[in-house]
Amino acid sequence: MEKLMVIVMPMLEGCEITLQIFSLTLIMALPLGLLAAMAKLSKFRLVRVLTDVYIWLMRGTPLMLQLLFVYFALPLVGIRLPDIAAALLAFTLNYAAYFAEIFRSGIQSIERGQYEAAKTLGMTYMQTMRRIIIPQMVKRVLPPISNETINLVKDTSLIYILAMNDLLRVARTIVQREFDMTPFLIAAVFYLAMTFVLTWIFKKLEAHYAKYDE
């Protein structure tokens, strides 16, 4: 039992890093993704093109490469970020790009009649988006957003290459030190627990939005 605690305690600390990266990325990437989705639907061509380039770069290169770039290449041009900030920057930019595409398709799936009804009632574009379009969009994009969110929990393990002691890196360190595979099993249980909670939250959200049909 005592031996197990020696393994589990540092892994709980690793979990803290993992959850920190996960939640901060989500908090920043969701609004940024919505902003990018709106930019993609902008009437200004330049805004649309720039957003397309950003999304293409983020989805077209490995997240691992983006992490390495922020961590190792940016300091060469004088931008040196603290470890956590560097990881957050890469994760947020990457996930916001995926969220943007999901939000955009959700927004475009709302019938034109909704915009027209809002317009004839005198609502402005921003009021229409905020009150009519986005609330309906959220219901429709919950399943794909749920998918991406679960991916994010697991993708956080990529930060092991930045020498940050997240859950997976702690597990590996102990495995190498003790020649004992148990930490890997415990890590799996931790990841499963986190994704279980997320799945449950999204199920609740979907049930909440099921109060109205379309």
Partner 1 sequence: MGNDIMIQMKNIYKRFNELEVLKGIDLEVRRGEVLAIIGPSGSGKSTLLRCLNRLESIDCGTIEIEGDFLAREEEGIAKYADKIASQRILSRMGMVFQQFNLFPHMTVLENLIEAPVQVKKMKPEQIIPTAESLLDKVGLLAKKDVFPSRLSGGQQQRVAIARALAMNPDIMLFDEPTSALDPELTGEVLRTMRRLAQEHMTMIVVTHEMAFAREVAHKVIFMADGEIVEQGTPQELFSNPQQARTKAFLQNML
- Rounded to whole angstroms, how far apart are CA atoms 82 and 86? 6
CB of 27 to partner 1, least distance (A): 24
206 makes contact with partner 1 (CB under 8 A): no
CB of 213 to partner 1, least distance (A): 4
- Residue 119 CB neighbour total at 10 angstroms: 12
- Rounded to whole angstroms, how far apart are CA atoms 191 and 114? 41
**Which one, 83 or 116, has the nearer CB to partner 1?**
116
Q: How far apart are the first and last CA of the chain?
A: 54
- Rounded to whole angstroms, how far apart are CA atoms 206 and 147? 13
Number of residues that bind partner 1 (CB under 8 A): 21
- Rounded to whole angstroms, how far apart are CA atoms 184 and 140? 36
The interface with partner 1 within residues 100-119 (CB under 8 A) comprises: 111, 113-114, 116-119
Encoded one letter per residue, x for contact with partner 1 by CB under 8 A and - for no contact, window 138-177 reads: -x--------------------------------------
**Which one, 18 or 136, has the nearer CB to partner 1?**
136
Encoded one letter per residue, x for contact with partner 1 by CB under 8 A and - for no contact, window 59-78 reads: --------------------
The candidate with the shortest Cα–Cα distance to 20, out of 158, 189, 156, is: 156
The candidate with the shortest Cα–Cα distance to 66, out of 37, 52, 87, is: 87
CB of 126 to partner 1, least distance (A): 10
210 makes contact with partner 1 (CB under 8 A): no
Q: Which two tokens stand for residue 24?
A: 């901060």
**Which one, 64 or 121, has the nearer CB to partner 1?**
121
Helix 2-40 / helix 45-60 crossing angle, nearest 10 deg: 150
205 makes contact with partner 1 (CB under 8 A): no
Residue ranges binding partner 1 (CB under 8 A): 111, 113-114, 116-123, 127, 131-132, 135-136, 139, 211-214
